[in-house]
Amino acid sequence: MENEVKNSNQIVLTAQGEETIFYVLEQTTLNGVNYLLVTDKEEEEAEAYILKDSSDPSEEEALYTMVEDEKELSLIAEIFEELLDDVELVSQE
């Protein structure tokens, strides 16, 4: 999935020509890699996803992809839970 950041609150992912708006809840950096915690709804309970900046540091635009590695996903989820006191991330397997 590729994306384009529209503003600080929205990100548009394009997959097979389809656009989906995600809302950025939080951002963090670990070992020089940027991660975003995004959700598919602005309010209410919603699906949350963790995206990773996979672009080359020399590129002007960021390329975010879904984090799929279970160890990496678990580690980053713990960091986001600490940053957001009122959020509990539950893995759906």
Phi, psi of 50 (to 5 degrees): -110, 125
User: What was the pLDDT predicted at 9?
Assistant: 63
**CA geometry: angle 77, 79, 84, nearest 5 deg:** 95
Q: Could you report the per-residue pLDDT of 45-89, keeping only the tens digit for each?
A: 778 899 999 888 888 888 888 899 999 999 999 899 888 876 655
60: Cα separation from own chain's centroid: 19
Mean pLDDT of the chain: 79
Q: For the chain, what is the largest distance between any 2 Cα atoms, rounded to a whole number of angstroms? A: 38
- Higher pLDDT among residues 86 and 42, named by residue: 42
Integer distance in angstroms from the first to the last C-alpha of the chain? 20
C-alpha–C-alpha distance, residues 85 and 83, integer Å: 6
